[in-house]
């Protein structure tokens, strides 16, 4: 595991960071939004606000974890674009996407998008101490709680003026969901980052509410998996297991819950997450990597970039809970090796493939960069491995 942590730092500094640093758009702000599989960069492609938020989080967090002051300007650059372009000054909230030159393109206000801006601004505040960043993050938190909640949980899709609309953006697999596990997970993540930066009691209370929803509505104790798509009352509407989200939740929910300092609650959530991680290993780990999902009994064996990154962290986390169960340590090590051998693109000036098959062959037609393809999962994987081995911290 020490070798993996060391290799993760080397991969972060030699592959992931240089790739994203080179995508800074000094003409129009932010970062370029699309590169096809042949490494053709489209400088006039849309700029997704989720992508910009994730880039802001990435450079802010990397600057802190690696103690690299030279990364601060890249975080500053993403911060300026978010504040000057992505933020709706009239109605509040973050737009879905911008044109290449910073004009609103898709003015949807989605809860998922607001949550990532909260997460990013909170990291930037921890890096810089910039009061405006924390104030903006808190304002977005209040908007989510005002517009995106009901008596059951969190609603998702709204127009620019916060009027509800249908949720195609976070619905997949042939269903249209009112609420999703994915959005709830990342609202909790965003709030956790905000709580980490300020310990605001209102944020902590909202986190506790989400943890209750997670334990009572999202997690299925019989099937040992998360339910994925829901109606407004959190009734599941599809027989789907998302292995990537399950392994991601298995460590991320523990992290956020631990910030609250409530030991009984942390123990209860940790028990759920241990079961979740064990179930993912039993059902989806094969060919030294992780399958994508199981939709109505049909397993998708595609190896998706972010799923592999979350598998490494999730299996390391599970091994830390169960040190006698070395199969989880080995699964983390083997998946990390699979990433370096197959998921990481060896071509100069590239990063990771979007997807490969279970044997490691790249799947044609998938871009290297687009609004959902970001340095958040793979960069975070590297930083989590570094943080879990303090011997290699600067």
Along the 394 residues of the chain, how does pLDDT read in single tens digits?
889 999 999 999 999 999 999 999 999 999 999 999 999 999 999 999 999 999 999 999 999 999 999 999 999 999 999 999 999 999 999 999 999 999 999 999 999 999 999 999 999 999 999 999 999 999 999 999 999 999 999 999 999 999 999 999 999 999 999 999 999 999 999 999 999 988 999 999 999 999 999 999 999 999 999 999 999 999 999 999 999 999 999 999 999 999 999 999 999 999 999 999 999 999 999 999 999 999 999 999 999 999 999 999 999 999 999 999 999 999 999 999 999 999 999 999 999 999 999 999 999 999 999 999 999 999 999 999 999 885 544 4
- Rounded CA separation 104/113 (Å): 14
Which regions of the chain does DSSP assign to beta strands (E)?
A: 47-48, 97-98, 104-106, 109-110, 157-158, 179-180, 219-220, 225-226, 229-230, 240-242, 285-286, 289-290, 293-295, 298-300, 303-304, 355-356
Our CA angle for 360, 342, 312, nearest 5°, is: 100
Contact 336, 7 (CB under 8 A): yes
pLDDT tens for residues 232-267?
999 999 999 999 999 999 999 999 999 999 999 999
- Position 112 scores a pLDDT of 98
pLDDT at position 391: 59
Give the three-state DSSP class for 3: helix
Sequence-ordered list of residues with C-beta below 8 angstroms from that of 299, at least 6 positions apart, any chain: 284, 291, 293
Interatomic CA distance for residues 354 and 367, integer angstroms: 7
Q: What pLDDT score does 393 carry?
A: 46
Can you give the pLDDT at residue 210?
98
- For 182, the 3-state DSSP assignment is helix
Measured over the CA atoms of residue 120, residue 124, residue 130 and residue 134, the dihedral's sign is: positive
Give me the pLDDT at residue 1, please: 82
Q: Three-class SS of residue 181?
A: helix
Q: What is the pLDDT of residue 394?
A: 40
- Dihedral sign from CA coordinates of 138, 60, 58, 275: negative
- Predicted pLDDT of residue 368: 98
Q: What kind of architecture, by CATH, is found in domain 2-392?
A: Alpha/alpha barrel (1.50)
User: In sequence order, which residues have a C-beta less than 8 Å from that of residue 267 and are 6 or more positions away?
Assistant: none
For residues 118 and 93, give the distance between their C-alpha atoms in angstroms, rounded to a whole number. Answer: 10
- Three-class SS of residue 110? strand
Looking at the DSSP assignment, which residues form a beta bridge with residue 352?
344
**Which pLDDT does position 390 carry in this prediction?**
58
Q: Which of 109, 78, 105 is nearest to 91 (CA)?
A: 109
Closest CA to 55 of 22, 100, 14, 10: 22
Residues in the chain: 394
Rounded distance, CA 166 to CA 180, Å? 13
Whole-angstrom Cα distance, residue 297 to residue 285? 16
pLDDT in tens, 296-331: 999 999 999 999 999 999 999 999 999 999 999 999
Question: How much is the pTM?
Answer: 0.97
In angstroms, the CA 119 to CA 111 distance is 12
């Amino acid at each position: 595991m020490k070798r993996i942590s060391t290799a993760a730092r080397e991969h972060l500094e030699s592959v992931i960071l240089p790739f994203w640093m080179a995508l800074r758009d000094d003409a129009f702000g932010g970062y370029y939004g699309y590169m096809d599989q042949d490494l053709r960069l489209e400088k006039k492609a849309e700029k997704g606000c989720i992508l910009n938020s994730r880039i802001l989080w990435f450079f802010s967090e990397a600057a802190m974890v690696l103690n690299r002051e030279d990364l601060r300007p890249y975080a500053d650059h993403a911060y300026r674009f978010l504040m000057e372009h992505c933020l709706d000054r009239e109605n509040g909230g973050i737009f879905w996407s911008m044109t290449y030159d910073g004009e609103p393109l898709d003015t949807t206000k989605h809860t998922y998008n607001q949550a990532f801006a909260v997460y990013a601004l909170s990291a930037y505040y921890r890096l810089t101490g910039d009061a405006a960043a924390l104030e903006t993050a808190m304002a977005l938190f209040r908007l989510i709680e005002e517009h995106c909640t009901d008596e059951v949980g969190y609603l998702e899709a709204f127009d620019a003026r916060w009027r509800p609309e249908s949720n195609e953006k976070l619905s997949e697999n042939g269903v249209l969901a009112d609420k999703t596990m994915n959005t709830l997970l990342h609202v909790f993540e965003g709030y956790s980052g905000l709580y980490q930066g300020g310990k605001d009691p209102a944020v902590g209370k909202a986190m506790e509410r989400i943890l209750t929803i997670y334990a009572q509505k999202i997690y299925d104790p019989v099937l040992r998996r998360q339910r994925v798509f829901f109606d407004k009352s959190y009734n599941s509407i599809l027989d789907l297991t998302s292995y990537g989200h399950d392994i991601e939740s298995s460590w991320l929910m523990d992290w956020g819950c631990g910030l609250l300092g409530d030991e009984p609650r942390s123990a209860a959530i940790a028990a759920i997450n241990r079961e979740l991680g064990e179930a993912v290993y039993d059902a989806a780990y094969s060919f030294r990597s992780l399958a994508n999902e199981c939709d109505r009994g049909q397993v998708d064996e595609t190896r998706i970039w972010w799923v592999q990154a979350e598998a490494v962290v999730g299996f390391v986390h599970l091994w830390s809970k169960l040190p006698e169960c070395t199969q989880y340590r080995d699964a983390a090590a083997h998946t990390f090796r699979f990433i370096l051998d197959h998921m990481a693109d060896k071509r100069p000036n590239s990063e990771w493939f979007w997807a490969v098959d279970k044997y490691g062959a790249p799947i044609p037609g998938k871009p290297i960069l687009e609004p959902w393809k970001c340095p958040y999962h793979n960069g975070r994987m590297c930083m989590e491995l570094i943080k879990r081995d303090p011997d290699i911290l600067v």
